Structure 1
Amino acid sequence: MPMTHVSMRSGKPAAYRTAVLEGIHETLHTSLGVHTDAFFMTVREHEDANFHVNMSFPFARSSDVLLVQITLTTGRSADDKQRFYQDLVARLARNPGVNPADVFINLIEVAADNWSPGNGLAGQNPTSAAAA
């Protein structure tokens, strides 16, 4: 169950922000097998003075750059991650129209026992522990 945080400059409409989150979630599901109900996501909007991103390294970016940080359980291969990156930028290019160069992605992988989705339970499958 990944936790996703997206940072962007202020000013985009709610429909744009929603499309970004939904695009990320759908790509996590289709490319990495994340459960369809496992969405825990935030958008943080920043004024220009609080959002410093290199606009030319290693290639040109626009002011619409998105910083996407996703924490998820470890275990995906490098090929899986590459497929996710490519699928995500393609999906966000289609809707809401984000330039692929403007999608900066950082995956943070952690062990399953580093998660507690609630009720003080740990691990990936807390519902089975709750039933016990």
Structure 2
Amino acid sequence: MPLLRFDLVAGRSPEELRALLDAAHDAVVEAFEVPGGDRYQVVHQHPRGELVVHDTDLGIERTDAVVLLQMTSRQRSREQKEAFYRLLTRNLEKECGIAPSDVVVSVVENSDADWSFGHGRAQFLTGEL
């Protein structure tokens, strides 16, 4: 946890997807200090033209390499989120050649009661985590 959902324009190779997911996971581990084995990621690929990501009139140019990331997570501090954004864009540019202008992140927060990792239990509430 957190849960990362990526929306991408279809066409990346399995190796490119693995590099993207690894780069994002490294940013999560560093920014939020979660264990390395704490990894939940989902990729949704869309045909060109079915993913629209405008720039909110900020003058940001987007390409077909755009990454729209929705992260669902327990509450995180402003500093942690800002570190995550910086680390994510740095990693994606370095490891995948994705420009920081092509990375959009939305964070959805929830609480410990909103997570069950299996066996019908809320492990944050039971003390298992």
Provide TM-score, normalisation by structure 2: 0.90
Structure 1 residue 56: Cα displacement:
7.4
Matches within 5 A, 1:94-109: 94-109=94-109
Matches within 5 A, 1:1-132: 1-54=1-54, 57-58=57-58, 59-74=60-75, 76-124=76-124, 128=128
Structure 1 residue 128: Cα displacement:
2.8
Pick closer, same or farther for the CA change 1:97–1:9 going to 2, 3 Å: same
Q: Aligned partners of 2:57 and 2:17: how far apart in 1?
A: 25
Deviates more, 1:34-43 or 1:96-105: 34-43
Contact 2:73-2:110 at 8 Å conserved across structures: yes
Pick closer, same or farther for the CA change 1:53–1:6 going to 2, 3 Å: same
CA deviation map 1:12-53 (0-9, x unaligned):
111111111111111100111122111111111100232122
Give aligned-pair identity as a percent. Answer: 25
Contact 2:113-2:125 at 8 Å conserved across structures: no
Structure 1, unpaired ranges of 5+: none
Provide TM-score, normalisation by structure 1: 0.88
Q: How many residues align?
A: 128
SS at match of 1:43: strand
Q: Aligned partners of 1:109 and 1:56: how far apart in 2?
A: 22
Q: Aligned partners of 2:24 and 2:38: how far apart in 1?
A: 12
Contact 2:112-2:125 at 8 Å conserved across structures: no
Structure 1 residue 123: Cα displacement:
3.7
Structure 2, unpaired ranges of 5+: none
CA deviation map 1:34-88 (0-9, x unaligned):
22111111111100232122167321111211001111111x2111111110111
SS at match of 1:57: coil
